Structure 1
């Protein structure tokens, strides 16, 4: 059976992984220069969740047990290092993401591990199943990481609100 794509799909997938990882690192570095808000934290997992539509295409179907393991692996092995290295701080009454050299380093280690794992797994299952599996792995990383960031953000936002209430004296 012939391929309808005249180029090596594996090379394209690997290139896209590298581009996406580099883009994420650049965006993270830029994010430390501007104050953040809840929308900036919560929109990525909401936007990414639309990718679950890929599973409407039958060749991407994987067993539920694989999906659960991929999600758990994303939570445990990928999200935890990102949660640990993502911290906020207050500057002039606004919340900023702290710069972290460790974050970029960890991000590239995770990207390298993901590429190696991707190459190994795609030898055993189809490229479409691999795509589905790694989408769930990435979502398992992104969702808990962003939820942890949101909790930290809310804590600092509440701290700012309570401090501003203390500094405003009632007119009596």
Structure 2
């Protein structure tokens, strides 16, 4: 089976997992650790760049980071918190699911087109960097919003 097809199937399963995790997370209060840890866990994937086949040139790095940062805007806009029962919860957003599916479709389309011109290993490196460049600003924005609500919650308790 083609590597693009296999990786696309993997991306679909990952997206489904993210949707379930996000829906489950909305049922429990959140905390700073739950917001901060995912980028650290994902950062371990950067070890792929130890292998020369995965290394990117300057333009590939710039392209992946810019596209990832642009995509993060959609995630930031759909991630809001609310205070319920003296705890901070992530609000459910119907738009989040549609945006996640849309990003998945764009990713699969880009991978299908780019796989004919870019080495599969470098393309993997680019898509990892794109995903990390999307996750990091999103989580930073979530952390800032969380801290605002946290201060608000603890000021009103006094």
- Note if 1:111 corresponds to 2:104: yes
Mapped contact 2:83–2:89 kept (Cα < 8 A) = yes
Q: Find the aligned partners of 1:28 and 1:133 in 2 and give their Cα distance.
A: 25
Name 1:87's counterpart in structure 2: 80
Q: Does 1:55 align with 2:49?
A: yes
CA distance in structure 1 between the aligned counterparts of 2:61 and 2:113, rounded to whole angstroms: 17
User: Contact 2:15–2:104 (CA<8 Å) still a contact in 1?
Assistant: yes
Give the equivalent residue in structure 1 for 2:15.
Answer: 21
Instruction: State the 4+ residue runs in structure 1 displaced beyond 2 angstroms.
Output: 7-11
2:13 maps to 1:45: no
Q: How far apart are 1:13 and its partner, in Å?
A: 0.7
For each residue in 1:27-62, what CA deviation from the matched residue of structure 2 results, as whole angstroms up to 9, or x when unmatched? 111111000001110111011111111000011111
Counterparts of 2:4 and 2:59, CA distance in 1:
25
Offset at 1:64?
A: 2.0
- 5+ residue gaps, structure 2, are none
**What residue in structure 2 maps to residue 64 of structure 1?**
58
Name structure 1 gaps, 5 residues minimum. 1-6, 166-172
Question: Which structure has the larger Rg?
Answer: 1
Structure 2 counterparts to residues 114-129 of structure 1, below 5 A: 114-129=107-122
Once the two structures are TM-superposed, the CA of residue 8 in structure 1 deviates from its matched residue by 3.3
Q: What is the SS of the residue equivalent to 1:150?
A: helix
TM-score w.r.t. length of structure 1: 0.89
TM-score normalised over the length of structure 2: 0.97
Superposition RMSD in Å = 0.9
TM-aligned CA deviation for residue 11 of structure 1: 2.2
Q: Kindly indicate whether the alpha-carbon contact (under 8 Å) linking 2:4 and 2:111 is maintained by their aligned counterparts in 1.
A: no
Alpha-carbon distance, 1:102 to partner: 0.5
The answer to whether the aligner puts 1:146 opposite 2:139 as a matched pair is: yes
2:69 to 62, 75, 91: 75
